[in-house]
Structures are given as structure tokens and as C-alpha cells.
């Protein structure tokens, strides 16, 4: 007999990434590409089969055809690749990761340099040859603290936007002679959005016109209650110039870190977040990576965003070659195929495939 019973239309769950080509969407819905193009035209979108449409449009079309759209973002796909679960038994305490934020000329960089200075021992002045955007200091009590210096915080905002929460504690630098400025408020908002505890460093206390008390009063208007006023925000008066109060600041960080009980499993395949990435002559693509969990070894194969490669070399924040980097350690990684974006998640995979 010639009349076949018409095939029952299959409705399926269609996975929609951030962006998708029209033909790929048709494939996933098992519909004809021409029908999809027609449907898009109805909605006022002129698109050919090879054109890329965004997830909202794709979702709309999918629903029009009676399928069930399932949104999934690129970053989720990657995470499925390889974030190994930590084994609770292997958890060890890891150093806190601190981001220094604040208004543009309130002395973030000089504070960072002053904190680093304390580690450059015995007049080995100028021992910091390169700026890698993140580094670690060892405190008097032999504990370590990692700092991220995010110029303009774009990396920080990027990472926030991608849900990669790199920072454990935010140091908010406020100049004692200047008080809270729009960028300071912005930094406070970022830190709150990221649920990061804030420690306020009231800088430039060496200046005659410094008024640290005024800064504390201004903080109240932004829901930050200094400890002196019965709140829980540690405010430390410092002077990056005279190196005053730096030990108090470091103690405040250690105290905060102890409260947070930061832990990580160093035995799993490493994963981390890109703080900076650049191309350097003679080195190729170089990324500064902050290891979140696991241990990264030379020779590991890592996937970072859309790039991948074999770790050719690891350099610590003093530019020395090292063989491995553990949790909360900032490290420069050489050997990637291209330069990923700041805020990309990096993880080690078993094989190139």
C-alpha cells in the first residue's frame, strides 16, 4: 500500500548553548533547516543556515516547534569536563586569596609593593623583576597569603560575571585624606556581590591631613560597620609609604582566613582561574593562573576556556622555574596554544582528546 502512516512527530529536549548556528539548531531539533529559517523570518530575523543566533532566539524557535529548550552556557559545558570532586579526607588548609581594591590613587599598588617588600629580605631590593598580577607572601608566622593585583579589576569583574569566585577576602584601600570615592563604593558593591569579607586598609595615615576616623564614619553609610563601632569589619590604619600598620593588616588577614577555614584538595587534577594572559617574546602565550584546587605539574595537559596545551614550564611569582603549584598558588604557565581571557577556568585533563 502506498499511503504510509505519517511518522509521529518526536518532541525532544533541545540543548541550547550561548550561541548556535541555525543549521545546528535544526539538527538538534531534527527539523528541516529551511523551516527554521522561515520561522526566524516570521520573527523578523533574516538568517541563513550558517548564521549564528543567540540563545534567546534559539529558545524561542525551539518552543515554536513544540520542543523543550534546555539552556546551557559554554562555561557549564567546560566545567562538566573535569572539575574533580575533592575527597573530604584529603582536604588541607590553603592560603587565603586576597584581592586589593579601591579608588584609583588611594595607594593600592604602593600597599601591594609594601606588603611584598616585607618578603624581599635582606636588602635584596628590586628583587621583584616581573609583575605577574598575583603573588604570594610568607608571613612571620610562616603562613602564606596570595594577593591578586587586578589592575582596574576587569579580571575581577569578569571572574565574578563567570561565577568563578577567586577571591576569599577583599582588602579595600581608602586614603585617609580623601575618604570614600565612587570607585570605592563600586569596589564595596563588587565585594558584597561576591560575598567576600572586607578588610579596610585606611592608607596614607602618614599625611598631616589624614583623618582615619572620618573614613570609618563614611563606611557606616555603606553598611560596613567598623569593629571600633561595634561592627565586624576590621579597619586597619596603614601607611604604605612609611610601612606602618602592615603587620596589623597581615594579622587581620590571617585572623579572617582562620575564621573562614579555607580548605582544598591538593591531590586531584588541578583547576584554577586565569588572572592575566599575554603573549611574550620568546615565551609564546603566558598566563598567570591561580590554582584553586589540586596540584598543577609541568607536563600536565590543561584546557583553558577555548585554548589548551601541555604545561611547558611553570614560573613562580619571582620568575623561578618550579615543577608544581598547589592550591592558592599564583603561577605563570607556558605552553598554551593561544591566549585565553582573564577569568577563564583552567583544568587539567587526562588526555589531549
Q: What is the pLDDT of residues 222-241, one digit of tens each?
A: 989 999 988 899 999 999 88
Q: Which residues of the chain have pLDDT under 50?
A: 78-82, 119-130, 152, 163
Distance CA 53, CA 61 (A): 11
Q: What is the pLDDT of residues 51-75, one digit of tens each?
A: 888 888 888 889 888 888 887 765 5
Is the pTM higher than 0.75?
no
Other CB atoms within 10 A of residue 136 CB: 19
Distance CA 178, CA 187 (A): 16
Burial class (CB in 10 A: 0-12, 13-18, 19+), 103: buried
Q: What is the pLDDT of residues 311-332, one digit of tens each?
A: 999 999 888 899 999 999 999 9
Q: What is the pLDDT of residues 244-272, one digit of tens each?
A: 999 999 999 999 999 999 999 999 999 99
Residue 171 near residue 249 (C-beta atoms within 8 A)? yes
Amino acid at each position: 500500500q502506498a499511503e504510509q502512516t505519517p511518522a509521529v512527530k518526536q518532541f525532544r529536549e533541545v540543548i541550547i548553548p550561548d550561541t548556535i548556528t541555525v543549521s545546528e539548531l535544526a539538527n538538534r531539533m531534527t527539523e528541516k533547516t529551511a523551516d527554521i529559517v522561515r520561522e526566524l523570518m516570521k520573527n523578523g530575523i533574516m538568517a541563513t543556515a550558517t548564521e549564528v543566533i543567540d540563545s534567546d532566539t534559539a529558545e524561542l524557535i525551539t518552543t515554536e516547534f513544540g520542543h523543550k529548550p534546555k539552556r546551557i552556557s559554554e562555561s557549564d559545558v567546560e566545567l562538566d569536563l573535569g572539575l574533580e570532586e575533592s575527597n573530604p579526607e584529603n582536604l588541607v588548609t590553603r592560603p587565603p586569596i586576597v584581592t586589593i581594591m579601591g579608588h584609583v590613587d588611594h595607594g593600592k599598588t604602593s600597599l601591594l609593593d609594601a606588603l611584598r617588600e616585607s618578603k624581599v629580605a635582606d636588602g635584596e631590593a628590586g628583587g621583584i623583576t616581573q609583575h605577574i598580577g598575583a603573588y604570594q607572601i610568607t608571613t612571620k608566622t610562616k603562613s602564606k597569603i596570595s594577593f591578586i593585583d587586578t589592575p582596574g579589576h576587569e579580571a575581577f569583574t569578569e571572574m565574578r560575571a563567570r561565577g568563578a569566585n577567586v577571591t576569599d577576602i577583599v582588602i579595600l584601600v581608602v586614603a585617609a585624606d580623601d575618604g570614600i570615592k565612587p570607585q570605592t563604593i563600586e569596589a564595596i558593591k563588587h565585594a558584597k556581590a561576591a560575598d567576600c569579607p572586607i578588610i579596610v586598609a585606611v592608607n596614607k595615615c602618614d599625611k598631616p591631613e589624614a583623618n582615619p576616623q572620618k573614613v570609618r564614619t563614611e563606611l557606616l553609610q555603606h553598611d560596613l560597620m567598623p569593629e571600633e563601632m561595634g561592627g565586624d569589619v576590621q579597619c586597619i590604619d596603614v601607611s604604605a609609604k612609611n610601612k606602618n600598620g602592615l603587620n596589623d593588616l597581615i594579622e587581620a588577614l590571617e585572623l579572617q582566613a582562620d575564621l573562614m577555614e579555607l580548605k582544598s584538595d591538593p591531590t586531584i587534577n588541578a583547576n584554577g582561574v586565569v588572572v592575566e594572559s599575554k603573549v611574550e617574546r620568546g615565551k609564546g602565550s603566558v598566563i598567570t593562573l591561580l590554582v584553586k584546587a589540586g596540584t598543577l605539574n609541568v607536563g600536565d595537559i590543561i584546557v583553558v576556556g577555548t585554548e589548551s596545551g601541555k604545561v611547558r614550564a611553570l614560573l613562580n611569582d619571582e620568575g623561578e622555574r618550579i615543577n608544581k603549584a598547589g592550591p592558592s598558588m599564583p603561577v605563570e604557565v607556558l605552553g598554551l596554544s593561544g591566549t585565553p581571557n582573564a577569568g577563564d577556568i583552567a583544568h587539567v585533563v587526562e588526555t589531549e582528546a
